[in-house]
Amino acid sequence: MNANFINPFLSSVSNVLATMAQTESQAGPLSLKKDATACGDVSGIIGMSSPQGKGSFAISFSEGVVLAITQRMLGEEHTEIDSTVTDLVGEVTNMAIGGAKQLLADTGYDFGLASPVVVRGKDHKIDHQSKKATLLIPFTSDVGEFFIEVNFEPS
């Protein structure tokens, strides 16, 4: 995966959190993850398919971080990852990949998007099942750290 492919995800995620949750975030150093994976308490996952290949995108939050983001986005305090919070993670996932899709279209990638799926459960792990490595990118923000994972396998 080259920078032209990955950068749209990084800027789209930061854009969505800045716009929707007034939260500035910075992407940290990316690493290649071949099997091990980020742990999160809640993750939004979405699949991508195109004539050029297929892949998957995930964004994972700890409980503390997602509850802080929920507070900022909705102005409501939630004390656990309930259905409002999972819906919000689904929305963030949708907006993040929607923004990335638009940016990627400018560089020649055209994706069909699947429906997002949100997984919740303490310290779950995500394994992207493609022959290509998964990129793991940590983000820092004033409410804490979160992660995205991007996997793409050219056809």
Residues of this chain that interact with a second copy (CB under 8 A) are 35, 43-50, 54-56, 58, 83, 86-87, 90-91, 93-94, 112-130, 151, 153
Backbone angles phi, psi at 103, to 5 degrees: -65, -40
**Nearest to a second copy of 24, 36 (CB atom):** 36
Q: Residue 142 Cβ, how far from a second copy at the closest point, in Å?
A: 27
Q: Kindly provide the b/e burial profile for residues 47-79, where b requires at least 16 CB atoms within 10 angstroms of the residue's own CB.
A: bbebeeebbbbbbbbbbebbbbbbeebeeeeee
Which of 24/125 has CB closer to a second copy?
125
Contact between 50 and 112 under an 8 Å Cβ cutoff? The reply is yes
CB of 129 to a second copy, least distance (A): 3
Amino acid at 149: E
Between residues 91 and 145, which has the closer beta carbon with respect to a second copy? Answer: 91
CB of 103 to a second copy, least distance (A): 19
